[in-house]
Amino acid sequence: MSNIAHSSQIISLSNKCKVDLYVQGNGYPVLWLHSGFRGRIGLTNLISAVERKLKQKKVEWLNIIPNLPGFGDSTSGPSENTNPYELADTLEELILYLNYPSLNIIGFSLGANITSILANRIPEKLNKIVLLGTAIEGKNLDIYRRLLDLHNGEKWEEIVNVIALNLVGSKNRSQYLKMIPLVRKQVSSVRFSQDLNRILSSGVRLDVFEEVKNITLPTLMISGKDDPFVPTPERIDIIKQNENIRFILLDGIGHNELVFPRQVDLSTQIIQFFEN
């Protein structure tokens, strides 16, 4: 068992990558893997919602929350992009370094893609996994190209509208648009353009359907029906044939709100999945 303190640390791995890691709590270890935007701060709301419900149950998890390579103070891998297979290399190194007998993983978006890869590479090190907003139909990145063009033109309101129409589901779109001042601050930041460039420079497929359909671990997979990355109906049928995967498709839900409990609270489903 690792003796890493419950604090923020920089972990040096054997592949020469340094990972900016935050560890908090006690109990069974749960690794949280964030999306291609905002780093681990993008998971803050969901983690807080889970912690509140665990506290009611008088239960605690050991939350392990890294910034993926290239995010925060984590150094990049072989290339400064979001190639999920390269990122999985570093996360595999991290899991081996942590040396827990087993752990659970919760991945969102890019983090879910990485999780599906790890599930096939090192299933003996993992217990259960949760995949939120997995980029199954992730070959088409035109939406991100458009957002980058708008960012370069400093068209902040238009960026907000494009995100609302493409990455937020119909149930939460009007609520999202009421937060324009907050969202505008986020999308006008240098970090936002850096994340866009990182995604667009990946040069590889983000589609991990082949990984998902071969998973042998107990898996909770949740996607929004309005998510541009949601599997096609044909692929959903194939995924559902995998008895290890519990697949949930949410009507009126897009990509972004899966980690915002005020819009879609998945904390109870995640906790119950790990408990059973």
**pLDDT per residue over 8-50, tens digit each?**
899 999 988 999 999 999 999 999 999 999 999 999 999 999 9
Element (H, E) at 213: helix 209-213
Select, from the ranges 66-80, 112-126, 141-155, 179-193, the one with the highest average predicted confidence (pLDDT).
112-126
Mean pLDDT is lowest, of 68-82, 159-173, 178-192, 196-210, for 196-210
Mean pLDDT, the chain, as a whole number?
A: 92
Burial of 243 (0-12, 13-18, 19+ CB in 10 A): exposed
Sheet containing 62-66: order of strands: 8-12, 18-24, 62-66, 29-33, 103-108, 126-132, 219-224, 245-250
**Mean pLDDT value of segment 231-258:** 96
**Mean pLDDT value of segment 196-215:** 84
User: How far is residue 102 CA from its own chain's centroid?
Assistant: 20
**pTM to 2 decimal places:** 0.94
For residue 125 the two structure tokens come to: 């090190």
pLDDT on residue 1: 37
pLDDT on residue 77: 76
pLDDT on residue 139: 59
Q: How many CB atoms within 10 Å of residue 6?
A: 12
User: Given a cut of 60, is residue 163 above it in pLDDT?
Assistant: yes
pLDDT on residue 184: 87
Whole-number Å distance between alpha carbons of 81 and 195: 9
Q: Name which CATH class applies to 8-139+205-275.
A: alpha beta
DSSP notation for 59-117: ---EEEEEPPTTSTTPPP-SSSS--HHHHHHHHHHHHHHHT-S-EEEEEETHHHHHHHH
Select, from the ranges 75-79, 97-101, 183-187, the one with the highest average predicted confidence (pLDDT).
97-101
User: Given a cut of 90, is residue 68 above it in pLDDT?
Assistant: yes
Q: Phi, psi at residue 13, to the nearest 5°?
A: -100, 165
- Between residues 161 and 206, which one has the greater pLDDT? 161
Q: Band of the pLDDT at 181, cuts 50, 70, 90?
A: confident
Task: Give just the sign of the alpha carbon dihedral 4, 89, 42, 275.
Answer: negative
Whole-number Å distance between alpha carbons of 213 and 20: 31
Q: Which residues pair with 112 in a beta bridge?
A: none
Q: Is the CB of residue 184 less than 8 Å from the CB of residue 176?
A: no
pLDDT on residue 2: 46
Amino acid at 124: E
User: Given a cut of 50, is residue 157 above it in pLDDT?
Assistant: yes
Considering the chain, what percentage of its residues have pLDDT values greater than 70? Answer: 95
Whole-number Å distance between alpha carbons of 175 and 171: 8
pLDDT on residue 203: 60
pLDDT on residue 183: 86
User: Given a cut of 50, is residue 131 above it in pLDDT?
Assistant: yes
